[in-house]
Amino acid sequence: MHRLLVSLALLLLATSAFAIEPPREKERWTTLTIDELTIYSSANDSTTRSVATGLVRLRDTLSVVTKLKVRSPLPTRVYIFGDQRSFMPYCEAAIGRPDRLSGVFLSHHDGNQILIDGSARSVDRVVYHELTHYFLRNTIPEDVPLWFNEGLAEFYSTFKEHGDSIDVGLPVEDHIGWLRTQPLIPLKDLFAINRDSKDYHEGNRQGVFYAESWALVHYLMIGSPERREQLGMYIGLIASGRTIDDAFRTAFHGTYDDLERELRKYVRAFSMTFVRYNLADLKAKEVLAPQPLARDALLVALADLLMHTHTPHFGEAEAFLAEAIKANPSSADAYAEMGEAKSWQRQHAEAEVNFEKAVQLGSRDALPYVLYGDSILRRLDASIRHSAGAPPAEITKARDLFRKATELNPQSATAFSGLGATYAMTTDDPAPGIAALERSLTLAPSEIETIYNLILIEARAGHREEVAKRLNALARVADAETVRQARENVYIADLNHANELGHAGKHAEAAEIMKSVAAQTTNEQLKAQIAEQLTSLDHVDVVNSQIADFQRAVETARTGKFQEALVMIDALLPKLTEPEMLAAAKDFRAKVTEYIAATTPKKKK
């Protein structure tokens, strides 16, 4: 099957290979909003409601049957095209090549886009497959076993709704054909496959991997009630950090060979069953009739789609947005989207002009405020990288924009994340920043940038135990380099704390922290800096000790014990290297010697 999960890179600036024209002015489009799901459709109302119903029914089913978190603070936009002719240009733009598909799923950091050919009269399996992946990520931010991730997505990809019931787990004939003609991957090997494994990428074995993963999930979900409970325990153990083998033995109470024999028998069976649910049992949400869509809103929605395709189509997107502004000069959404287009093309000054316009128009949508704040943070970050610092007034402006966004949309993870990020750039009271970032993580648990900034602020605040937990969480969702950079920032925070201890005279504690950082950091320049600081601390300790010895000699002389003071200063003099102290010690010795000579009775000749 085709898998079209497209991870979009911001700032990808390649140009379009073809032009996409805006819809004709009299072309009828409708819209429908169901929670975070927004549908734009040029298909007839019957098709629009049918597609919307299928998507909502899948969401309702997964919510009840699997307990997955199917509600998300991030938007999902669905574009239903009335015929293949209008669908294909956007489909090609979305995946970067022509293909005879009827559905495409795009996922990116700020939401999802789904493209559907309305003339196909049904939702493509790939859409249900990728929606299941998305819901699973919402529920378990950490990586789940790949066989389960893909197997579960395939299990729900054949979802069907009809009348008052829905069917789950309908057989995939292609997979059954594969499994009955190709050798299975041993379960011990299947459970160990990850995204870097050859079996996940290489032709024939990839087909067997998907088919076998689907069959195993099908058996565990439907074929064996006992195994279904064990599957839930297994996933829970993996999520808690147990190893693959340990989790398997604990949950399944047997060997890989035992379960593999059961799977082979299941696959060879004459037929596979499925599960039927009544809508009443699912508490399914009613899908209302679609409503007419204003032309400026349509153009903004399509421009957003063109900017999130495999290769962003900025030229066409900006043309759509210019026409949207012409149709409605007061469209805050159009200015906000234009600002985003300019920002992605690194035209940051123009971007902020458009964001400012969107804000001035009094948008009740949180997005313009978030985008404007993001643009300011991006500019400030560049300034900090060039050692120019971050003007407090600009940080305050960005903070106010994000705070406004959180008021307009209390479910916006990006708004809270941006608000928290402003505290990572200052030495302000960290508590509000930590609270904002923690709120963001409750809404979007696996956002790397949010976890990263939370590590920076908590490290600065001295929350060492929390930092350790955050680093472990970051390691589960981010690449090794990002984790390394986070650790290096923690080390810098530790060094700042060590310097504070040093200034407070707690040199031993400071030195211990510095030595610990030096042993862990991969930054050679930082290691050299620490070595200098440790040498400086040692020197300060030596000098302080010498000052203390000098003062004791002075105090001893003040009590009249001049001979004892002379012995003390004579022992100290060879150790002194500081010119001023050496001169003072010599002067003191001369005075003590002079006083001893003056007060010592002379012997008669």
Task: Give the residue-averaged pLDDT of 111-127.
Answer: 85
Q: What percent of the chain has pLDDT over 90?
A: 34
- Helix, strand or coil for residue 104? strand
Q: Among 362, 358, 353, 428, which Cα is nearest to 390's?
A: 428
Question: Residue 137 and residue 23: Cα distance in Å, rounded?
Answer: 35
Pair 467, 452: CB distance under 8 Å: no
Residue 155 binned pLDDT confidence (cut-offs 50, 70, 90): very high
Question: What pairing do the DSSP bridges indicate for beta strands 103-108 and 30-34?
Answer: unpaired
Query: Which residues, at least 6 apart from 24, have a Cβ–Cβ distance to it below 8 Å?
Result: none
Give pLDDT tens digits for 468-508: 899 898 998 888 899 888 888 887 887 777 777 777 777 77
Q: Is the pLDDT of residue 268 over 60?
A: yes
Give pLDDT tens digits for 76-109: 999 999 999 999 999 999 988 877 788 898 988 7
Question: Residue 331 and residue 179: Cα distance in Å, rounded?
Answer: 55
Task: Give the residue-averaged pLDDT of 564-585.
Answer: 86
Question: Residue 163 and residue 120: Cα distance in Å, rounded?
Answer: 19
Q: Which H, E and C letters describe 575-605, residue by residue?
A: HCCCHHHHHHHHHHHHHHHHHHHHHCCCCCC
Question: Residue 474 and residue 478: Cα distance in Å, rounded?
Answer: 6
Radius of gyration of the chain (CA): 34
C-alpha triplet 109, 112, 115: angle, nearest 5°: 145
Q: Starting at the earlier edge strand, list the strands of the sheet with 165-168.
A: 160-162, 165-168, 275-278
Query: Which residues, at least 6 apart from 61, have a Cβ–Cβ distance to it below 8 Å?
Result: 156, 159, 166, 168, 277, 282
Q: What percent of the chain has pLDDT over 70?
A: 92
Most confident listed range (268-282, 460-474, 519-533): 460-474
**Cα within 13 Å of Cα(482), Cβ side:** 18
C-alpha triplet 453, 533, 467: angle, nearest 5°: 25
What pLDDT, on a 0 to 100 scale, did the predictor assign at position 467? Answer: 87
Q: Among 67, 70, 81, which Cα is nearest to 119's?
A: 81
262-266, 515-519, 600-604: which range is least confident on average? 600-604
What pLDDT, on a 0 to 100 scale, did the predictor assign at position 14? Answer: 38
Give pLDDT tens digits for 38-68: 999 999 999 999 889 888 888 888 887 777 7
Q: Is the pLDDT of residue 380 over 90?
A: no
What pLDDT, on a 0 to 100 scale, did the predictor assign at position 378? Answer: 86
Q: Is the pLDDT of residue 233 over 50?
A: yes
Phi, psi values for residue 521, rounded to 5°: -65, 150
What pLDDT, on a 0 to 100 scale, did the predictor assign at position 28? Answer: 96
Q: Among 431, 373, 445, 439, which Cα is nearest to 142's?
A: 445
What pLDDT, on a 0 to 100 scale, did the predictor assign at position 604? Answer: 59
Q: Is the pLDDT of residue 332 over 70?
A: yes
Q: Which helix (H) or strand (E) holds 328?
A: none
Q: Is the pLDDT of residue 204 over 70?
A: no
Place of tokens 């705070």: 403
Residue 603 binned pLDDT confidence (cut-offs 50, 70, 90): low
What pLDDT, on a 0 to 100 scale, did the predictor assign at position 15? Answer: 40
Q: Among 34, 32, 3, which Cα is nearest to 107's?
A: 3
Pair 123, 55: CB distance under 8 Å: yes
Residue 290 binned pLDDT confidence (cut-offs 50, 70, 90): very high
Task: Give the residue-averaged pLDDT of 326-355.
Answer: 92
Residue 36 binned pLDDT confidence (cut-offs 50, 70, 90): confident
Q: Is the pLDDT of residue 509 over 60?
A: yes
Q: Among 477, 58, 65, which Cα is nearest to 232's?
A: 65
Q: What mean pLDDT value characterizes the chain? A: 85
What pLDDT, on a 0 to 100 scale, did the predictor assign at position 605? Answer: 54
Q: Which helix (H) or strand (E) holds 450?
A: helix 448-461
> For residues 548 and 141, which has the higher predicted lDDT (pLDDT)?
548
Question: Residue 362 and residue 31: Cα distance in Å, rounded?
Answer: 23
Strand partners, 114: 78, 105
Question: Residue 399 and residue 418: Cα distance in Å, rounded?
Answer: 8
Residue 22 binned pLDDT confidence (cut-offs 50, 70, 90): very high
- Helix, strand or coil for residue 491? helix
Strand partners, 291: 31
Residue 316 binned pLDDT confidence (cut-offs 50, 70, 90): very high
61-75, 226-240, 343-357: which range is least confident on average? 61-75
Pair 111, 412: CB distance under 8 Å: no
Q: Among 484, 379, 471, which Cα is nearest to 425's?
A: 379
Total number of residues shown for the chain: 605
What pLDDT, on a 0 to 100 scale, did the predictor assign at position 521? Answer: 79
> For residues 506 and 580, which has the higher predicted lDDT (pLDDT)?
580
Where in the chain are the domains? 171-273, 309-516, 541-599
Q: Is the pLDDT of residue 352 over 80?
A: yes
> For residues 184 and 4, which has the higher predicted lDDT (pLDDT)?
184
- DSSP label at residue 347: -
Its pTM stands at 0.69
CATH of the domain spanning 309-516: 1.25.40.10
What pLDDT, on a 0 to 100 scale, did the predictor assign at position 308? Answer: 92
- DSSP label at residue 1: -
Question: Residue 367 and residue 361: Cα distance in Å, rounded?
Answer: 13
Place of tokens 């380099």: 481
Pair 190, 216: CB distance under 8 Å: yes
DSSP secondary structure string for all residues of 168-233: E----HHHHHHHHHSPPPPHHHHHH--TTSGGGTSHHHHHHHHHHHHHHHHIIIII-HHHHHHHHH
Task: Give the residue-averaged pLDDT of 563-588.
Answer: 87
Most confident listed range (329-338, 466-475, 523-532, 582-591): 329-338
What pLDDT, on a 0 to 100 scale, did the predictor assign at position 538? Answer: 67
What pLDDT, on a 0 to 100 scale, did the predictor assign at position 503? Answer: 74
Place of tokens 């109302």: 45
